[in-house]
Structure 1
């Protein structure tokens, strides 16, 4: 690579800036494992690399949604050197590139193993939180945090403050069960490893946002991946939150409905800073006025959830 940037330096092993791209214990190198997927993949890689009973060699690579055509030669090299692909299900031709899980597996040596694990997405702890893609620019996010609050969205649509609508415990429980069922459905269809059973008895920190699982979920996922590889499940908590850049506060009504301890904070945590929910709500309300297409897209996609929560 002729030009070294901050990004290529961060993923130096992937871009072959190291003579030994797969990193691990020299004394017990173990197999080369390519952990592939979204931002959850890097958290899983860190945990798998921490094993002492079943050491492996891993490589930090960009999340799949960041990969560009110029990255394909490096992805092929990474796959060619791997013995195990630990991947989330990615469809063939993702982003019009050969980035599908099956396509990456085909880049690997004959006889390589593939272990598929789920994209962990669960809205039970945050039933109002949603991801809405701009129809004209899917990379566009709302201000402050890259998540929408259906109360704010509905309020902008109907012209009334929907944060004042008292939540129904029955609706919260129904959405929690629906989210677990959807995760289980995707696991049964696409995966070799599952974690949906963990959400049958959730804990407050299980999801930092609807698509960023907490350490308890990630640790159990890593142990189950180890078992799927025929290894001893020995990964331990790293002593820090792996996916904690944005942390959504658990609301009291949700804790009550799901039988969880009362929450101790009301503010969001963003890069370690406390940000009041009102700050996000006000910024996004103004933003919807300037982006009516996103408002309509969110209203259409989440209409059933909006109605279930009594926000329409």
Structure 2
């Protein structure tokens, strides 16, 4: 099961926590078969396979690999590297060695000394050759298709909810004895979507090279799988902008399959109606290709909150603006 969540405690690090098999000191458990598979998956990164000529690197959260998929071509080869939150100190050294020979870097904003390692965007840039190009891109979160959903990182409560690592405002409210409706009117759905765009515009205004906020409209079903997992409808045009910003002869590449799609949240009928989407509602979750009924997730989360009243209080505190939006929607 994936762990998912914005690392909000890192202020300006837009980094998604997506787990891995780690020991308590943060290193990968060397006895696990997953380590062998990981090394094969990132063969160039580990130095087992030489990198292609003119290679570049895309660094960031789980969205970074999706961006690599859509910009990488023979003309603009991009090397697969682990997501930044999965890197150990040894991995950080490998990344800097790889960057020393790279022709370009595409990076999401990451603060200096992220997790005690030199993984900040500015620190990575300093390892590049003088002639290398750098393009900074936003990490995208969009709530327009899932206006009930939040993904949180709580410093005092590192454990994720069961089954799916997302909080549903209706479930949270029920657990806390608060009243919210089961759905929202179209105007409220659109307002939540615009709030997502406004926050992304704010982040872009901090000096990023490529913007994505305008790509969040018109709203289509393939725009997002969850609140923090965009779909192909976002990645393809954003990838085209990155290629253009690099000034390289490459082109955007359609992988021919849904990307970042291992977890799909429900697409509820009232959301479909609000956006007049040409698609059928999906009432349940899909996780790793398997259907997980929404009511099963709901009951598991209610039990989870009931056993952890302090965590529930922290979740309610962080979700207060969304709870207020839902409780006052007309």
Classify the secondary structure of the residue corresponding to 1:91. coil
CA offsets, 1:258-293, max 9 Å, x none?
A: 332353432211111111110110111101112223
- Structure 1 counterpart of 2:324, from 281, 302, 307: 307
- Structure 2 counterpart of 1:36, from 51, 59, 82: 59
Distance in 1 of aligned mates of 2:318 and 2:178 = 19
Match of 1:7 in 2: 38
- In the TM superposition, residue 208 of structure 1 has moved relative to its aligned partner by 0.3
Distance in 1 of aligned mates of 2:328 and 2:262 = 29
Find out whether 1:75 has 2:95 as its counterpart.
Answer: yes
Find out whether 1:63 has 2:63 as its counterpart.
Answer: no
CA contact (8 A) 2:69 2:253 kept: no
CA contact (8 A) 2:157 2:311 kept: no
Find out whether 1:91 has 2:122 as its counterpart.
Answer: no
Classify the secondary structure of the residue corresponding to 2:221. coil
CA contact (8 A) 1:89 1:190 kept: no
Q: 94-103 or 164-173, which moves further after superposition? A: 164-173
Find out whether 1:297 has 2:314 as its counterpart.
Answer: yes
CA offsets, 1:167-202, max 9 Å, x none?
A: 232221111111111111111214111121121311
Query: What do you get for the CA RMSD once the two structures are aligned?
Result: 2.0
Match of 1:131 in 2: 151
Find out whether 1:47 has 2:73 as its counterpart.
Answer: no
Match of 1:144 in 2: 163
- Structure 1 counterpart of 2:248, from 202, 223, 231: 231
Distance in 2 of aligned mates of 1:288 and 1:119 = 29
Task: Extract unaligned runs of 5+ from structure 1.
Answer: 24-28
CA contact (8 A) 2:283 2:294 kept: yes
Match of 2:238 in 1: 221
CA contact (8 A) 2:221 2:279 kept: no
Classify the secondary structure of the residue corresponding to 2:164. coil
Distance in 1 of aligned mates of 2:77 and 2:248 = 14
Give the length in aligned residue pairs.
Answer: 296
- In the TM superposition, residue 247 of structure 1 has moved relative to its aligned partner by 0.8
CA contact (8 A) 1:288 1:294 kept: yes
Match of 1:17 in 2: 48
Task: Extract unaligned runs of 5+ from structure 2.
Answer: 1-29
Find out whether 1:155 has 2:174 as its counterpart.
Answer: yes
**TM-score for both structures, normalised by structure 2:** 0.84
Q: 287-296 or 253-262, which moves further after superposition? A: 253-262
Match of 2:20 in 1: none
CA contact (8 A) 2:56 2:103 kept: yes
- In the TM superposition, residue 233 of structure 1 has moved relative to its aligned partner by 6.3
C-alpha spacing 1:80/1:137, structure 2 compared with 1 (3 Å): farther
- Structure 2 counterpart of 1:115, from 135, 140, 154: 135
Distance in 2 of aligned mates of 1:165 and 1:186 = 31
CA contact (8 A) 1:64 1:99 kept: yes
Distance in 2 of aligned mates of 1:66 and 1:247 = 22
Distance in 1 of aligned mates of 2:270 and 2:320 = 21
